[in-house]
Chains A and B, each alone.
Chain A
Amino acid sequence: MKHTISVLVENKFGVLSRVSGLFSGRGFNIESLSVGETIDPAVSLMTIITTGDDRIVEQITKQLNKLIDIIKVVDFMEIDHVERELVLIKVSPRKSDKAEFLKIAEIFRGRIIDSGTQTFTVEITGDEKKIAAFIEIIKPYGIKEFVRTGKVAIAREGLKKK
């Protein structure tokens, strides 16, 4: 089962390696990880996507909580939330396909943020499903390069338990 875990940490050097070391040292898997400052510059937020059965994920959240520099751990599995990921994709459609490709990008609310003689770079944000669908559809147009930020997640108002 895939879990999105949000980890509030002290913004100190070495914290990221404490977290990543915990995963590698205990054989847990990180599928994606994104880190950024919060409104309080002394605090950073990590969003970690990991997989495992209930017992493993319970261990992961407990072990994270045990690290001294970690302030709060939230497993979004239990919380109503929204998730987004941003992906930049460089595509080189044939001349005859360009119009069609741009149409598809528009349907997915992709933004063309760079274009040259050979390629377009599309910026697309969305949840996992949307991004997977978009990638699937544009594959035939020729993907040259592809970067993704890793998912971020935020609870919906009221922090309702599912």
Chain B
Amino acid sequence: MKINGSKILIECLKKEGIKHIYGYPGGVVLNIFDHLYDEKGMELILTRHEQAAVHAADGYARASGKVGVAIVTSGPGATNTVTGIATAYMDSIPLVVFSGQVPTMLIGNDAFQEADIVGITRPCTKHNYLVKDVKDLAQTVREAFHIASTGRPGPVLIDLPKDVTTGMADFVWPKQVNIRSYNPTYHGNKWMIKQSIQMISKAKKPVIMAGGGVILSGAAKELKELAEKAKIPVTMTMMGLGGFPGTHKLSMGMLGMHGTYYANKAVQDSDLIIGIGVRFDDRVTGRTESFAPDAKVIHIDIDPTSIRKNVEVDLPVVGDVRNVLKDLLSEMKKHKEQWGAVRSSWLKQIDKWKKERPLEYRFDKKIIKPEFVVEKIYEVTKGNAIICTEVGQNQMWAAQYYHYDKPRTWLSSGGLGTMGYGFPAAIGAQMACPDETVFDIAGDGSIQMNIQELATAVINKLPVKIAILNNRFLGMVRQWQELFFNERYSHTGLDVTPDFVKLAEAYGAVGLRAATPDEVVPVLKESLKVKDKPVMMDFVVDWKSKVYPMVPAGAAIDEMIFDEEKKTPKRKLKAVK
């Protein structure tokens, strides 16, 4: 029996087990939306902006490990998704985005709401398609989900001309996908794995550098086993937070530009770096010529292009991180080394560094320090929340002062650094995990980039907690201006910001404010009581606070600057062991 393209699309989504779709309607996708209207068991969540639809799908994907789905219309609907798609692409998040397109006979005619979205998204998708014939639709959708979710995951876009959504065809769901030109390597080379064990057993000062790949491949358990067995300290890239327990004895927290003193020291001093699911991004390596000068590098990653792109690698292992770690662990069993004995002086050295310069900030009785807010969020949630962030200082403080013990509890735009990501991502995460507490740690700048999504959260009764660290500045840029541009605050002051409490109330959400340190915990506790609507919390924080330590751009990662002002006593962070 022939059915139309819109129906075929919905059948495909059912086959893929899709329950939530984020989207925004428009002229050329009317047929699809009309069919979705009757669909039971498949919910379309109307966001207030297409960019937010893609971020929400992305947040859903990161929190659940499933593929996120968004549907938008042609032209501006499609171009509005570009930032969302690029965000997912940089962080390897599996998404399938459907964009409407003008009818095939009008393509190229500069028709109303026409944009060459396949051309526009070519460099920021893992792959994309223009479906020209309804007969190819099911096959294309099947391939798109396969490509998005396998290998190194990523977003895939499917452009659907209007006549494809109305054209008739038989629905044939391909039993399997076979793309001859797409065969990711899942298993590491056996010889390379044996060599890795040799290198690990010889190393006196090894460091594991764990990245987003650990989370994407579900290898947290294996990583922990490896670190514990071989007694190797672990540092995480920002994308890797949660891949290894942040409160673990062997954890050194995050490395890089705003990494901990001890993580950066350890990396620079190490004789072996085991990069697992990382891409040695410039925010992590600092000046590459001075990165870990004495270390040999083992690099485990599923994407061969990550290897030797930024740093020299002595031993590449291409494969799925989880599979490779499993093979490593079983190979390790054959060795009888006393790993602990070999590492004891190295681990002692790291403990020394940890004591020398722990993560710390200046507590103040009168003014709220932003770090204090993050620390308290950690305490009131007992470390069990899903934390989304925007981008800038809020993101770095959230990375430093909250400790992530489980994968998929840290959702942040790492590669692209997209302001406005966190709130819609929190919406997606809350829908994926309705029983979890979901926070968006935001800045007063970033939150305004997708603040319209309050409506989406209210109507869907999502109890997302938005904690705005309100410093009346685009804080990270201001920090750079203070440190490197003679305190010339060119266009970083947000002199007019809305009254976030009233704004929340205007949307039908709960608005709360804390202006002094002793109001912080009561406000947070109050927010946790709200179960059926979003809570927007305005924390009026010290505008002068800066993110420390900091590695200036172009420096080696052990050339860190610290908060050296001596006015108020520093307060050590309790949670760091």
- Cβ of A17 under 8 Å from chain B: yes
Nearest-neighbour CB distance to chain B for A32, whole angstroms, equals: 22
List B contacts of A58 (CB < 8 A).
Answer: 308
List A contacts of B303 (CB < 8 A).
Answer: 66
List B contacts of A63 (CB < 8 A).
Answer: 305
Complex contact A18–B308 (CB within 8 A): no
**Residue among B118, B123, B127, B305 with max Cβ neighbours from chain A (10 Å):** B305
Nearest-neighbour CB distance to chain B for A93, whole angstroms, equals: 46
List B contacts of A55 (CB < 8 A).
Answer: 308
- Cβ of B498 under 8 Å from chain A: no
List A contacts of B126 (CB < 8 A).
Answer: 68
CA distance A127 to B305 in the complex (A): 32
Nearest-neighbour CB distance to chain A for B87, whole angstroms, equals: 17
List B contacts of A158 (CB < 8 A).
Answer: none
- Cβ of A10 under 8 Å from chain B: yes
- Cβ of A65 under 8 Å from chain B: yes
Instruction: Identify which of residues 106-143 in chain B touch chain A, using a CB-to-CB cut-off of 8 Å.
Output: 118-119, 122-123, 126-127, 130
Q: Contacts A14-B118, A68-B147 hold; do A21 and B179 have CB atoms under 8 A apart?
A: no
Q: Contacts A59-B305, A62-B305, A63-B305 hold; do A68 and B118 have CB atoms under 8 A apart?
A: no
Q: Contacts A65-B304, A66-B303 hold; do A71 and B122 have CB atoms under 8 A apart?
A: no
Which B residue's beta carbon lies closest to that of A10? Answer: B181
- Cβ of A124 under 8 Å from chain B: no
CA distance A28 to B316 in the complex (A): 23
Complex contact A68–B181 (CB within 8 A): yes
List B contacts of A18 (CB < 8 A).
Answer: 122
Binary interface encoding of chain A residues 63-97 relative to chain B, with 1 for a CB under 8 A from any of its CBs, else 0:
10110111100000000000000000000000000
- Cβ of A41 under 8 Å from chain B: no
List B contacts of A27 (CB < 8 A).
Answer: none
Complex contact B181–A69 (CB within 8 A): yes
List A contacts of B304 (CB < 8 A).
Answer: 62, 65-66
- Cβ of A25 under 8 Å from chain B: yes
Selected from B123, B181, B308, the residue in CB contact (under 8 A) with A21 is B123
List A contacts of B308 (CB < 8 A).
Answer: 55, 58-59
Complex contact A17–B122 (CB within 8 A): yes
Q: Is the interface of A mostly helix, strand, loop or mixed?
A: helix
Nearest-neighbour CB distance to chain B for A73, whole angstroms, equals: 10
List A contacts of B118 (CB < 8 A).
Answer: 14
Instruction: Identify which of residues 221-249 in chain B touch chain A, using a CB-to-CB cut-off of 8 Å.
Output: none
Complex contact A59–B309 (CB within 8 A): yes
List B contacts of A62 (CB < 8 A).
Answer: 304-305, 307
CA distance A119 to B181 in the complex (A): 48
- Cβ of B180 under 8 Å from chain A: yes
Nearest-neighbour CB distance to chain A for B308, whole angstroms, equals: 6
Complex contact B305–A71 (CB within 8 A): no
Binary interface encoding of chain A residues 1-42 relative to chain B, with 1 for a CB under 8 A from any of its CBs, else 0:
000000001100110011001000100000000000000000
List A contacts of B119 (CB < 8 A).
Answer: 17
Complex contact B309–A25 (CB within 8 A): no
Binary interface encoding of chain B residues 450-479 relative to chain A, with 1 for a CB under 8 A from any of its CBs, else 0:
000000000000000000000000000000
Instruction: Identify which of residues 355-392 in chain B touch chain A, using a CB-to-CB cut-off of 8 Å.
Output: none
Complex contact B181–A25 (CB within 8 A): no
List A contacts of B307 (CB < 8 A).
Answer: 62
CA distance A108 to B506 in the complex (A): 83
- Cβ of B182 under 8 Å from chain A: yes
Complex contact A71–B309 (CB within 8 A): no
Nearest-neighbour CB distance to chain A for B385, whole angstroms, equals: 36
Q: Contacts A58-B308, A62-B304 hold; do A68 and B179 have CB atoms under 8 A apart?
A: yes
Complex contact B147–A71 (CB within 8 A): no
CA distance A2 to B307 in the complex (A): 22
CA distance A17 to B128 in the complex (A): 12
CA distance A63 to B119 in the complex (A): 18
Nearest-neighbour CB distance to chain B for A16, whole angstroms, equals: 11
**Residue among B122, B181, B182, B308 with max Cβ neighbours from chain A (10 Å):** B181
CA distance A48 to B454 in the complex (A): 51
Which B residue's beta carbon lies closest to that of A65? Answer: B304
List B contacts of A70 (CB < 8 A).
Answer: 181
CA distance A32 to B305 in the complex (A): 23
Complex contact A66–B122 (CB within 8 A): no
Q: Contacts A17-B119, A18-B122, A21-B122 hold; do A68 and B305 have CB atoms under 8 A apart?
A: no
What are 11 A-B contacts with C-beta separation under 8 Å? A10-B181, A14-B118, A17-B119, A25-B123, A58-B308, A59-B305, A59-B308, A65-B304, A66-B303, A68-B147, A71-B181
- Chain B residues at the A interface, C-beta cutoff of 8 Å: 118-119, 122-123, 126-127, 130, 147, 179-182, 303-305, 307-309
Closest 8 CB pairs of A and B: A68-B127, A62-B305, A71-B181, A62-B304, A25-B123, A68-B182, A63-B305, A21-B122
New A-B pairs, 13, CB < 8 Å, besides A58-B308, A68-B181: A10-B181, A59-B305, A59-B308, A62-B304, A62-B305, A63-B305, A66-B303, A66-B305, A68-B127, A68-B179, A68-B182, A69-B127, A71-B180
